[in-house]
A = this chain, B = another copy of it.
Amino acid sequence: MLLYNSPISGNCYKVRLLLAHLGIPYERRELDVVDRSNRTEVLGDLNPDLRVPTLVLDDGRPIAESGAILWYFGEGTRFVPDDRYDRAKVLQWMFFEQYSHEPAIAVVRFLVAYSGEADRYASVIERKTKDGYRALDALERHLAATDGFVVGRATTLADIALYAYTHVAHEGGFDLSGYPAIGSWLDRVAAEPGHVSIEA
Contact across chains for A71 and B88 when beta carbons are under 8 A apart: yes
User: Bound state CA distance, A63 and B88, in angstroms?
Assistant: 7
Each complex incorporates copies of this chain amounting to: 2
Q: Quick one: which of A48, A67, A87, A89 has the most chain B CB within 10 A? A: A48
Dominant secondary structure at the A interface: helix
Let me know if A92 is at the binding interface, CB within 8 A: yes
Q: A95-B98, A96-B49, A138-B48 are in contact. Are A75 and B84 (CB under 8 A)?
A: yes
Q: Which residues of the partner chain B approach A139 to less than 8 Å between Cβ atoms?
A: 48
Q: Does A100 sit at the interface, judged by CB under 8 A? A: yes
| Most chain B CB atoms below 10 A, which of A49, A61, A91 | A49
Residues of B within 8 A of A50 (CB): 138
Quick one: which of A50, A57, A72, A103 has the most chain B CB within 10 A?
A: A72
| The 6 residue pairs across chains A and B that have the minimum distance between CB atoms | A68-B92, A72-B88, A48-B138, A65-B95, A68-B91, A65-B92
